[in-house]
């Protein structure tokens, strides 16, 4: 079993990001938390990647079926990555898809820390989080940039990825970790993301 420290600090220089299946149709499967919150937190992560010039890979599954296209928010924030997204034919565990794995490894380079968020934590997130941890990456799952059909599914997924050593965080906590110091230029830009995508919507859903 590959157990890892719960105190791994990520930095922009040693980290890349994977956003998995934030699609219009698949969002309908999220029922344990508000859909709007998942979208806002996915937006926040995309903006963080842009601010920090962090490598990021987007992927979707079966866009021509009920899952639908990736949300327009990702096209708006990360247009180049959106156009280069890995459109999987149906492989459930994204890491098992050769094209996605190649794109992820290309984005990683020498980086071994990965920020991972999938739209449904019980399907889109849990399997690649486990696979990538077992492959030697330190994985931080941004839990609130996804959700599950019900509370039990969410709890089982979190236990499963934490059991192998993947770490759990939230969008706001991750942004603070990457900012380090809000008074710096980088910290100020990340504070704006937090303000606009997280704090501005507290209590609205």
Q: How far apart (Å, rounded) are the C-alpha atoms in residues 85 and 170?
A: 24
Q: Is the pLDDT of residue 200 over 70?
A: yes
Q: How far apart (Å, rounded) are the C-alpha atoms in residues 94 and 18?
A: 10
pLDDT score of 6: 57
Q: How far apart (Å, rounded) are the C-alpha atoms in residues 119 and 124?
A: 6
152 by DSSP, 3-state: which?
Answer: helix
What is the pLDDT averaged over residues 175-200? Answer: 95
Token output for 204: 């609205």
pLDDT score of 2: 45
Q: What is the pLDDT of residues 76-89, one digit of tens each?
A: 999 999 999 999 99
Helices 35-52, 185-197: inter-axial angle, 10-degree rounding: 160
Q: Is the pLDDT of residue 1 over 50?
A: no
DSSP state of 198: T
Q: Is the pLDDT of residue 195 over 80?
A: yes
Q: What is the pLDDT of residues 130-146, one digit of tens each?
A: 999 999 999 999 999 99
Token output for 124: 């889109």
In the chain, % of residues over pLDDT 90: 92
Q: What is the pLDDT of residues 153-170, one digit of tens each?
A: 999 999 999 999 999 999
Q: How far apart (Å, rounded) are the C-alpha atoms in residues 133 and 172?
A: 23
Q: Is the pLDDT of residue 4 over 60?
A: no
Q: What is the pLDDT of residues 20-75, one digit of tens each?
A: 999 999 999 999 999 999 999 999 999 999 999 999 999 999 999 999 999 999 99
Nearest to 53 by CA among 17, 84, 82: 17
Q: Is the pLDDT of residue 120 over 60?
A: yes
Q: Is the pLDDT of residue 117 over 80?
A: yes
pLDDT score of 124: 98
């Amino acid at each position: 079993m590959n157990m890892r420290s719960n105190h791994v600090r990520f930095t922009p220089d040693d980290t890349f990001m994977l956003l998995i299946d934030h699609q219009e149709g698949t969002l309908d499967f999220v029922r344990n938390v508000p859909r709007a919150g998942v979208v806002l937190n996915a937006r926040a992560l995309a903006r963080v990647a842009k601010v920090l010039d962090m490598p990021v890979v987007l992927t979707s599954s079966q866009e021509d079926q009920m899952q639908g296209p990736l949300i327009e928010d990702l096209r708006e924030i990360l247009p180049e990555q959106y156009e280069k997204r890995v459109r999987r034919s149906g492989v459930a565990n994204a890491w098992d898809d050769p094209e996605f794995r190649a794109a992820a490894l290309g984005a990683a380079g020498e980086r071994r820390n990965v920020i991972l968020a999938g739209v449904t934590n019980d399907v889109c997130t849990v399997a690649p989080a486990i696979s990538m941890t077992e492959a030697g990456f330190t994985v931080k799952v941004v839990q609130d940039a996804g959700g599950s059909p019900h509370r039990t599914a969410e709890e089982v997924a979190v236990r499963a990825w934490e059991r192998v050593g993947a770490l759990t965080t939230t969008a706001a906590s991750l942004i603070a970790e990457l900012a380090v110091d809000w008074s710096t230029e980088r910290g100020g830009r990340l504070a704006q993301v937090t303000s606009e995508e997280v704090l501005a919507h507290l209590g609205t859903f």
